[in-house]
Structure 1
């Protein structure tokens, strides 16, 4: 049974995922990780810090935890929302992060 105080609205999940993703971006910048390159996320989950352009063990572990948290939250959102709502949330978050951090993120990840 759902907890009556649990908010399962699309806005609720958007807020949660956006917050997690902003922190993921910050940790990726600190570690100079090219997060969107093939295989990088899998290496992070496996605790393989060879993907780091700058060694920062605390940021790397936090990044790993945040990626797992994102995956878990996304699965819960998929369970509570329909596919169109989840896709709309994903698109909004990507656009928001790109608008706020896009140029900065790309420059940081290139170096």
Structure 2
């Protein structure tokens, strides 16, 4: 049980760090990540979703998004899908509270 708790703490910190960096780079580029189709556009290297041109920050945003998906898949393997989804959801909600509507997405139900 202690090993699972240690794994959870490690994954929490790593995913939190990546998500914070994603939000930072999205803010620099003025990308509304939570708007429909925006994450897909970034992953396809389509910078038309940027409100501010910054090629370096956009590349880092794209790289961090790809890393985030890889980390999520690895966390599924190590922690399990339910635990990972709860962890990612909690971090996402913390970021949403901190960033407000700067991430886009409007209101959720």
TM-score range normalised by the length of the shorter chain? 0.7 to 0.9
What is the TM-score of this pair, normalised by structure 1?
Answer: 0.81
Instruction: Provide, for residues 19-42 of structure 1, a one-character-per-residue CA deviation record: whole Å limited to 9, x for no partner.
Output: 000010011111011111111111
Q: 1:95 aligns with which of 90, 93, 97?
A: 93
Q: 2:64 aligns with which of 50, 59, 66?
A: 66
Moved over 2 A (4+): 98-101
Q: CA RMSD in A?
A: 2.0
Q: Is this contact kept in 2: 1:24–1:63, CA < 8 A?
A: yes
Q: SS at 1:35's partner residue?
A: coil
Q: Which runs of 5+ in 2 are unaligned?
A: 105-109
Q: Is this contact kept in 1: 2:25–2:58, CA < 8 A?
A: yes
Paired positions, count = 101
Aligned twin of 2:83: 85
Instruction: Provide, for residues 65-95 of structure 1, a one-character-per-residue CA deviation record: whole Å limited to 9, x for no partner.
Output: 0000000000000011122211220122022
Aligned twin of 1:25: 23
Q: Is this contact kept in 1: 2:75–2:84, CA < 8 A?
A: yes
- 58-67 vs 91-100, greater mean Cα deviation: 91-100
**Pair 1:86–1:108, CA change in 2 (3 A):** closer
Q: Does 1:43 align with 2:41?
A: yes
Q: Is this contact kept in 2: 1:28–1:34, CA < 8 A?
A: yes
For residues 80 and 9 of structure 2, what CA distance do their matches in structure 1 show? 13
For residues 42 and 95 of structure 1, what CA distance do their matches in structure 2 show? 20
